[in-house]
Amino acid sequence: MDLLNTNPDNLSTLLSWLTFLPLIGMCVVLLLPASNLRAIKITAGVFTFIPLVLATQMYFGTFDKTVSGYQMVQHFEWIKALGINYSVGVDGLSMPLLWLTTILFFIAVPASETVPRLSKAYFVLLLLLELGVLGVFVSLDFFLFYVYWEIMLLPMYFLIGIWGGPQREYAAIKFFLYTLAGSVLMLIAVIALRLDAGTFSIPELVAIGKAGGFTGPALLGMSFTTWVFWFLFVAFAIKIPAFPFHTWLPDAHVQAPTPISVILAGILLKLGGYGLLRGCFPIVPDAFQDFAYVLGILGVIAIVYGAYVALGQSDFKKMVAYSSVSHMGFVLLGMAALTEWGMNGAALQMFTHGISSAACFLVVGVVYDRAHHRDLNGFGGLAQPMPRYWAMATIAFFASLGLPGMAGFVSEALTMVGAFQSQVGWTDEAIASGWMWGPFQWLTLIATIGIVMTAAYILWALQRVFLGTLNEKYADFKDISAREVFSLAPLLVLCIVLGIFPWYILDWMEVSISDLMQILTFAG
Amino acid sequence: MNTLTPNDYLLLLAVPLIPLLGYVVQIFFGRNLPRKGDWMLLGGMFIVMCITVYMFFVHAMGHVGPAPFWNESAMTADGPVFRWLYNTSDVPGDQNLIAGILYDGLAAAMLMVVGVVSFLVHLFSSGYMAGDRRYHIFFANISLFTFAMLGLILSDNILFLFVFWELMGFMSYLLIGHFAQDPDSPRIKHAAAACKKAFLTTRVGDTCLFFGMAMFYFLLPREYNDLLAQGAIEGERVISSFRFVDLWTMGGQIVEANNGEYPFWMSVAGLFTFGGTVGKSAQFPLHIWLPDAMEGPTPVSAMIHAATMVAAGVFLLGRMFPMMSPEVLQIVIAVGAFTALFAATIGCTVNDIKGVLAYSTISQLGFMVAAIGTGGLGIVAGLFHMVTHAFFKACLFLSAGSVIHGCHHEQDMQKMGGLRKKMPITFMCMLICTLAIAGMPLFAGYYSKDRIIASVIDSTLTQWRGANVFALVALPLAAMLTTFYMFRLIFLTFFGEPRDQHIHDHAHESPIPMTAALIGLASLGMFGGHFWLAGDPLSNNGTWFTNLVQWQTMYVTSRGGSLDLTSMNMIAVTEHTAHTGHVWAVGVSLSVLALGFFAALWIYGLKKLDPARITSKLGLVYEAVRDKYYVDEAVNGSVIRGTMGLAKGQKWIDENIIDGTVLGVGRLGRGLGTLCAWIDKNIVDGAVNWVGNTTQALGSVARLLQTGRIQQYVSFAVGGALLLAAFHILT
């Protein structure tokens, strides 16, 4: 069986071009003189714009959303002795995220204008980061996946550690070590799978997992697949970040410069969710089914707890960071519910949170660039000198709040309804008695608290920053500039367009998600 | 009788889309248009009003008979539909969400009301808001609000109703907060707090509604298919749906198969759904946002917080009525009746002219909710009251706005008085609508309020249940208080001597757009109830409105379903009790009207009794009422502080325990590293050094032998050779 569908019609070098374009850009930037920052910025802009055009073309053109399986596949042997292949391809899960990546990196370049100590190295690292992220989304070989995963880590460390805020070293090291711990777990799991099944290829591993073909020994009373599941889950959960592995995120966000926060919240967190869907659940579906309720509980804790902690913050950016924790809880809850709607909601939430949280961080960045502080209690009445900024901030924050008509509502509603439909953990007696209620019904009910609390912290923050009496210190603030609008507007337009026409994402994912659901519900 | 054609549906589709288009143009270009673009939105709203009125009279008003005048095929096949989640048609129906238009009697009536009131409020605003620094934004926002309200009415499924429902909440947030960005406004801080409070409080209800919705969506088809498998229902397997018609059909058949009993979960789901009404229609205990919402401009109060948005909760109750079990309806009656009385008592003590109207609105919404809870004709009465109330309450608010405008933004009634002569048109309009809300015969409010009391009497006579009896006491009492506080308002504002000469001297009648809107609404307040007479006024059956809102019944029967779902909740009213109830209702209505009026006249009109004497006699009771029964304080003390405490506590946990663990692991790692470094330096490296040192020491001993003198070496060699030889010989 040709799992990759490597027939000649399907092959393509497009994905490799897409992945390595930022690398070419990086080389060009390296050749430019460090003194000519303007040329460097333009080069970076061009080399993030070309992938955006390419990805957009792929999204609306090359990619066939009616076809099941991987597309635009490229496959050849890389390290023959170890059975490692260079194999890339996309399906409905990775294609939207690939597009999102190119959008956010393109936006990050103009948004970098106000980063202090901006230099050539910054753009070199930014382009390297894009290479890593794109690589993870296209990899179909677990080893390749791991390599790209590690490539991503390094530039992020320096971007936070050099261009960050006052406590940047602390935040960078915390980020690096935490994520590295996850990587190690992933590496162990990958090697274990390789030793057991003899392949690094993700499609082959999925096929073996579906057939129950892993024969590894049980250890400490847990089966081989359970071990693999937990190792991979923790590896990706750190990235999501799922409760209780989330504390690196607020520090990283608060210290990182605005464009890096945008990328961190917009894409890097999605890698965790994507990793679960690509490299964890379908490989060990039986273990996933066993522990789905644990994941659901973790998701709901993140939703409610994250919202409460966000409400308790007085730092604007930290509040948005915790709102990310809360919103990414929906991803976990939706996946764990094991329903079509929940899975769609989770996958869509990754995209919608990508745009809305990126927009929120840009909004925070605008006010930070002017006031040089982020204390929520230190503002007030900013809507008066900055009416256009207020309008855009309202859209960004209400999209994040999940206002119907905006992108966040669709994914949250799908997730909630999907989670409520879940039959995970239903006992036969409960079904027989007609009391159609199980753990996920309770979890959904609890998660609604998070929805109310989300409204609370966002409205309270908006009130303290924008409404009421104007803080005299800030009366002369300039309204949002054309450059800032240039970064922010595309995201806000996407927020609204996807709220009204969510099928611009859902249609693309539909086939892949129903395939995935077949795999996940197969063993049970 | 005309069945709707696809063209009619296109016309209906234009109704919400016109204000939406207006909004988009206005928000981007409004500032630069002549007159800041208000004429554009006004013109658009005029077209909307014409369409809604036309559709109402052509399709709904003349409609009699059991068949629905809307047809389903037009909604799904030929009519405009909107595929939401997926744009491909091969996605199964329960995965995709297809939204269409449901234009039944309830939608027709409500759409007409919203169309007319919105136009008149737009007209009023063009005068009232003139000179405001964010004039164009105000018009844009109110236009988008109108879009959401019209969309909500036309939605054929509850999910889209929810979408528009929340969108309205958001527009309400922006409009209440209109003055929160105006540095000239003295109440800028209050407005900022009020808009947040309004959105958050209703959000609590909205979340309940969402959960109820999810329950119906999932459990209804599941239960249906289970019953199908058991053979209790005949038909085909169904899939999940948010569409009202599907919900009614499934619900009806489940209840029928259950021998008329509602499953327990349906009660739970119904209660959650009712939570949405409690939030949006400001019922106790979520009513606290509505009085604060008066911080918004007066046209906003008139339109959103009196006529349209708050009525959406009642509308929802009407739409979802068949899904409400008798147990839930008992709660509905109790909440509604309690709110009606509770808010009416507060209304008697408020001095802010808009505050009186705000509490009056809460009270009247309580009437509607309670009436719908009684089922049967009560639902007709409640929804009819929603229609008439929209007319006269919008007029009352706008009149109050006209007074405030005339008095240069003074809202305290204690500083008014004697304005009758200065503002004759406003006075006449307000008087008409006061008579309407008080339930004076021949005015709009009489018809609906009389029906409500009649239905409460009927239901109590047939079913002696706690909630019914409570409503029977509370509602007439609330009606009496309504008359009292409304005439108190009239006497304090328009009659007597001016209490503040300065304000009185500068008071003036409002400009033409405002008075024109007032006259329009006042005539509706006067004649808006006469629609009721387009049938036999003394009979409870056969009036066109009754037919209009019994859509669910018609729908189920027209589909071949044997169950008359609405009648499950309809108390079988015999001819006799109906007649008795009606006669009693007229008597009760008129006597409470008279009592309330004469009390107000005695105290405030003729000043025979000093209100201060009454308040001092009542003492603590008066203080409790004046301070709104301390509900706000209680909420602040418990919910708000509790939430903030939780938030601070969880923040502490996050920083100290969870992050503390992480940092602890980090410190442990660093400690281990330091330890290892010490071991490495002192033990491992120490061993190495020891070996080296020992070698060196030994070497230095050996070095002593290295003298470099050849004689010594030779003597060592000879000595050694001799020793070897001796050893060899001896062994």
Q: Which helix (H) or strand (E) holds A84?
A: strand A84-90
With a cut of 50, say whether residue B562 has pLDDT above it. no
* A318 shares contact with chain B (CB less than 8 Å): no
Using the 8-state DSSP alphabet, how is residue A212 labeled? T
**Mean pLDDT, range B658-662, rounded to an integer:** 87
Average pLDDT of chain A, as a whole number: 89
Give every CB contact of residue B581 below 8 A, 6+ residues apart in sequence.
Answer: B454, B455, B457, B458, B461, B573
> pLDDT tier at A125 (50, 70, 90 boundaries)?
very high
Name which of B23, B85, B254 to mutate to probe chain A: the one with the most chain A Cβ atoms within 10 A of its Cβ.
B85
To the nearest 10 degrees (0 to 180), the angle between helices B512-527 and B444-462 is 40
CA distances to A228, A312, B663 from A178, in Å = 19, 25, 11
**Mean pLDDT, range B686-705, rounded to an integer:** 88
Lowest-pLDDT range of B44-48, B142-146, B704-708, B725-729: B704-708
d(CA B491, CA B493): 6
Contact A276, A328 (CB under 8 A): no
Instruction: List A222's β-bridge partners, or say none.
Output: A219
Nearest to A468 among B163, B189, B219 (CB): B189
Nearest CA in chain A to B191: A468
Nearest CA in chain B to A308: B647
**Mean pLDDT, range A39-58, rounded to an integer:** 93
> pLDDT tier at B76 (50, 70, 90 boundaries)?
very low
d(CA B114, CA B133): 27
**Mean pLDDT, range B638-659, rounded to an integer:** 86
Chain A, window 433-452: residues with a beta carbon less than 8 angstroms from a chain B beta carbon: 434-437, 444-445, 448, 451-452
- What is the C-alpha radius of gyration for chain B, rounded to an integer number of angstroms? 38
> pLDDT tier at B28 (50, 70, 90 boundaries)?
confident
**Mean pLDDT, range B256-274, rounded to an integer:** 86
With a cut of 60, say whether residue B64 has pLDDT above it. no
Cβ separation of A463 and B164 shorter than 8 Å? no
CB atoms within 10 A of CB A474: 18
Nearest to A456 among B188, B195, B643 (CB): B643
State pTM to two decimals. 0.89
User: Which amino acid is present at B101?
Assistant: I
d(CA B630, CA B674): 61
CA distance A389 to chain B (A): 13
**Mean pLDDT, range A317-341, rounded to an integer:** 92
Contact B155, B177 (CB under 8 A): no
Nearest CA in chain A to B265: A435
d(CA B697, CA A196): 55
* Strands B98-99 vs B82-83: parallel, antiparallel or unpaired: antiparallel
Nearest to B647 among A311, A341, A455 (CB): A311
Contacts of B173 in chain A (CB under 8 A): 459
* A459 shares contact with chain B (CB less than 8 Å): yes
> pLDDT tier at A325 (50, 70, 90 boundaries)?
very high
> pLDDT tier at B62 (50, 70, 90 boundaries)?
low
H helices, E strands: number in chain A: 20, 2
Instruction: List A84's β-bridge partners, or say none.
Output: A79
Peptide bond into B297 cis (omega under 30): no
Cβ separation of A459 and B196 shorter than 8 Å? yes
Contact B227, B257 (CB under 8 A): yes
d(CA B171, CA B192): 14
Sign of the torsion formed by the C-alpha atoms of A84, A89, A92 and A95: positive
Q: Give phi and psi for A219, each to the nearest 5.
A: -140, 130
CA distance A382 to chain B (A): 8
pLDDT score recorded for residue B531: 65
> pLDDT tier at B74 (50, 70, 90 boundaries)?
very low
pLDDT score recorded for residue A126: 94
d(CA A343, CA A93): 11
d(CA B253, CA A50): 59
Using the 8-state DSSP alphabet, how is residue B133 labeled? T
Contact B213, B162 (CB under 8 A): yes
Residue B417: left if φ>0, alpha if ψ -120 to 50, beta else—which one? Answer: left
CA distance B653 to chain A (A): 9
Contacts of A420 in chain B (CB under 8 A): 211, 214-215, 218
As given in the structure block, the two tokens for residue B560 are 């071949």
Chain A, window 322-381: residues with a beta carbon less than 8 angstroms from a chain B beta carbon: 340-341, 344, 381
SS (H, E, C) B49-75: HHHHHHHHHHHHHCCCCCCCCCCHHHH
* A485 shares contact with chain B (CB less than 8 Å): no
Contacts of B183 in chain A (CB under 8 A): 381, 384, 469-470
* A453 shares contact with chain B (CB less than 8 Å): yes
User: Which amino acid is present at B342?
Assistant: F
Contacts of A502 in chain B (CB under 8 A): 84-85
User: Which amino acid is present at B213?
Assistant: M
Chain A, window 234-293: residues with a beta carbon less than 8 angstroms from a chain B beta carbon: 244, 246-248
Contacts of B666 in chain A (CB under 8 A): 174, 177
- Residue range A335-347, pLDDT digits in tens: 999 888 899 999 9
d(CA B348, CA A230): 65
- Residue range A370-379, pLDDT digits in tens: 888 888 888 8
Contacts of B177 in chain A (CB under 8 A): 467
* Strands A84-90 vs B98-99: parallel, antiparallel or unpaired: unpaired
Average pLDDT of chain B, as a whole number: 82
**Mean pLDDT, range A221-244, rounded to an integer:** 90
* A390 shares contact with chain B (CB less than 8 Å): yes
B226-234, long-range: CB within 8 Å, 24+ apart, which pairs? Answer: B226/A434, B227/B253, B227/B254, B227/B257, B232/B257, B233/B257
pLDDT score recorded for residue B69: 52
Contacts of A403 in chain B (CB under 8 A): 166-167, 170
Nearest to A463 among B164, B196, B646 (CB): B196
Q: Give phi and psi for B542, each to the nearest 5.
A: 85, -10
Cβ separation of B646 and A308 shorter than 8 Å? yes
CA distance A403 to chain B (A): 7
CA distance B491 to chain A (A): 36
pLDDT score recorded for residue A435: 66
Contact A88, A16 (CB under 8 A): yes
pLDDT score recorded for residue A273: 93
Contacts of B180 in chain A (CB under 8 A): 383, 463, 467-468
* A524 shares contact with chain B (CB less than 8 Å): no
Q: Give phi and psi for B407, each to the nearest 5.
A: -95, 15
| Angle (CA) B179 A493 B191, round 5° | 10
Contact B349, B622 (CB under 8 A): yes
Nearest to B211 among A244, A437, A445 (CB): A445
Lowest-pLDDT range of A432-441, B87-96, B567-576: B567-576
Instruction: Collapse the DSSP code of A79 into the 3-class scheme (helix H, G, I; strand E, B; otherwise coil) and give the result.
Output: strand
Contacts of B193 in chain A (CB under 8 A): 463
Contacts of B88 in chain A (CB under 8 A): 503, 507, 510
- Residue range A180-193, pLDDT digits in tens: 989 999 999 999 99
Cβ separation of B654 and A309 shorter than 8 Å? yes
- Residue range A260-315, pLDDT digits in tens: 999 999 999 999 999 999 989 999 988 888 899 999 999 999 999 999 999 988 89
Contacts of A311 in chain B (CB under 8 A): 643-644, 647
Q: Of A64, A20, A70, give the one whose Cα is nearest residue A201.
A: A70
d(CA B40, CA B22): 7
Cβ separation of B651 and A244 shorter than 8 Å? no
pLDDT score recorded for residue A353: 94
Cβ separation of A312 and B643 shorter than 8 Å? no
| Angle (CA) B478 B479 B485, round 5° | 85
With a cut of 60, say whether residue B237 has pLDDT above it. yes
Share of chain B above pLDDT 90, in %: 19
Cβ separation of A398 and B651 shorter than 8 Å? no
Q: What DSSP line would sit under B609-634, residue for residue?
A: S-HHHHHHHHTHHHHHHHTGGGHHHH
